[in-house]
Amino acid sequence: MPAMRPSRPIGILGYGAYIPRYRLQASEVARVWHGGQDHVPIAQKAVAGPDEDAITMAVEAARNALARAGIAGERLQAVWVGSESHPYAVKPSSTIVAEALGAGPLALAADVEFACKAGSEALQMAVALVGSGMADCALAIGADTAQGRPADELEYTAGSGAAAFVVGLADEAVALLEGSVSYVSDTPDFFRRGQEHYPRHGGRFTGEPGYFAHVLAAGRELLSSLGRSPADYAYVVLHQPNPKFPARAAAELGFRPEQWQPGLLVDRIGNTYAASSLLGLTAVLDRAEPGERVFFVSFGSGAGSDALSLVVTEKLPLRRHQAPATASYIARQQLLDYATYARFRGKIAL
């Protein structure tokens, strides 16, 4: 099957990152729950402050994206927010975000849920809307304050962050979309029931049938349908629930470490779920040069992957300094002890 391509040339007009200030070191989790005797997957994860949630983080990432796009919020014709931690079960995050950005009222707005793929799914929706000619400007956001059950291995990595992308016409784009592939199947590797606070996961079942099956299939399909090889790309960004999975998947696709390392942030901020692969993409766009290509594959449990191929335009170097670099959010950090973390994230019943 050929890759999906827009009906007219489109791309990313602006991108924005947000990572909260607080960090919890994995060694602190291991100290509290495992007597310090556990293999920790990453160094630390980003933790939202007590007054933050997916909405507030989405707004800051989106404001950064609009700043880089050089447009006002009122030009947005769609605002889509992907998250598995929408603050309301019923009441869209997206209308709050749109109001804060000055978007609408004549606009589309909706919340998207697809585990860690919710943000890239929103991006695909924006691509479809603009690529079809139905609208000229759409915003896609991935934002999460992910929660792992205390003492569960997810608690090491379940982090907080947001990334936003303004999709529009090619002549104003900082990166052009060349094509995409989306790949889904019914795979119950990870889920959370409606009234539950914490998810359940399938342990090692999340690996081969989950992450690898979908990321590799979507990635291979996109390379093959575009007639490209990994050597055509300067960067590859994959969903990053831990450092091992994306490194192994990228290697299996034929990429080299220097292609994936710039976009691999999980060791310093954890798995930010719907923002995870998208934040990797912002980090790469912070450094990519005109003409360089970026290969992107997300993954969401349940399960599916979106693979996109982008090429950077000469506008990127002029726009990237209009908002804080992803690296500057990563550098801004305040370590928490486990007690403060538990308090911030509502894990202590009052």
Partner 1 sequence: MALQLPREWRWRQERYRLIGGRCRRCGQAFFPHREICPRCLGEDVAKEQFSGRGRVYSYATVYKAPVGFEEYVPYVVALVQLEEGALVAAQLTDVDPTEVQIGMPVECVLRRWRTNGPDGNIIYGYKFRPRLES
Looking at the Cβ atoms of 161 and 302, the one nearer to partner 1 is 161
Q: Which of 2, 36, 74, 102 binds partner 1 (CB under 8 A)?
A: 102
Active site residue 116: yes
Looking at the Cβ atoms of 60 and 121, the one nearer to partner 1 is 60
Does 100 participate in binding partner 1 (rule CB under 8 A)?
Answer: yes
Looking at the Cβ atoms of 103 and 140, the one nearer to partner 1 is 103
- Yes or no: say if 11 and 278 are a contact pair by the CB < 8 Å rule: no
Task: Draw the binding track, 124-163, toward partner 1 (x: CB under 8 A; -: no contact).
Answer: ----------------------------------------
Looking at the Cβ atoms of 48 and 118, the one nearer to partner 1 is 48
Find the shortest distance in angstroms from Cβ 319 to partner 1: 12
- Helices in the chain by DSSP H: which ranges? 26-34, 54-69, 93-101, 118-131, 213-226, 244-253, 257-260, 266-269, 276-285, 316-319, 326-331, 338-344
Q: Which of 28, 86, 116, 155 is catalytic?
A: 116
- Give the SS3 label for residue 262: helix
Does 28 participate in binding partner 1 (rule CB under 8 A)?
Answer: no
- Yes or no: say if 236 and 295 are a contact pair by the CB < 8 Å rule: yes
**Spatial distance between the Cα atoms of 63 and 166, rounded to a whole number of angstroms:** 10
DSSP 291-326: T-EEEEE--BTEEEEEEEEEEE-TTHHHHGGGS--H
Rg of the Cα atoms in the chain: 19
Q: Which of 28, 84, 172, 178 is catalytic?
A: 84
- Yes or no: say if 37 and 29 are a contact pair by the CB < 8 Å rule: no
Does 332 participate in binding partner 1 (rule CB under 8 A)?
Answer: yes
- Give the SS3 label for residue 245: helix
Count of residues that bind partner 1 according to CB under 8 A: 27
Looking at the Cβ atoms of 21 and 287, the one nearer to partner 1 is 21
Looking at the Cβ atoms of 132 and 334, the one nearer to partner 1 is 334
Residues 237-296 binding partner 1 (CB under 8 A) are none
Query: What residues contact 4, with CB distance under 8 A and at least 6 apart?
Result: 179, 180, 181, 182
Q: Which of 203, 244, 321, 335 binds partner 1 (CB under 8 A)?
A: 321
Task: Draw the binding track, 4-23, toward partner 1 (x: CB under 8 A; -: no contact).
Answer: ----------------xx--
Does 88 participate in binding partner 1 (rule CB under 8 A)?
Answer: yes
Burial 232-241 (b: 16+ CB within 10 A, else e): ebbbbbbbbb
Does 323 participate in binding partner 1 (rule CB under 8 A)?
Answer: yes
Question: CA separation (Å) from 193 to 75, 89, 116, 201, 203?
Answer: 37, 12, 16, 12, 17
Residues 29-58 binding partner 1 (CB under 8 A) are 49-53, 55-56
197 burial level (CB within 10 Å; 0-12, 13-18, 19+): exposed
Looking at the Cβ atoms of 21 and 149, the one nearer to partner 1 is 21
Active site residue 137: no
**Spatial distance between the Cα atoms of 322 and 181, rounded to a whole number of angstroms:** 31
Find the shortest distance in angstroms from Cβ 95 to partner 1: 10
Find the shortest distance in angstroms from Cβ 336 to partner 1: 12
**Spatial distance between the Cα atoms of 19 and 271, rounded to a whole number of angstroms:** 12
- Under DSSP, the state recorded for 158 is B
Find the shortest distance in angstroms from Cβ 22 to partner 1: 8
Find the shortest distance in angstroms from Cβ 239 to partner 1: 27
Does 337 participate in binding partner 1 (rule CB under 8 A)?
Answer: no
- Yes or no: say if 158 and 340 are a contact pair by the CB < 8 Å rule: no
Does 111 participate in binding partner 1 (rule CB under 8 A)?
Answer: no
Q: Give the footprint of partner 1 on this chain (CB under 8 A).
A: 20-21, 49-53, 55-56, 59-60, 87-88, 96, 99-100, 102, 321-324, 328-329, 332, 334, 343, 350
Catalytic machinery residues = 84, 116, 239
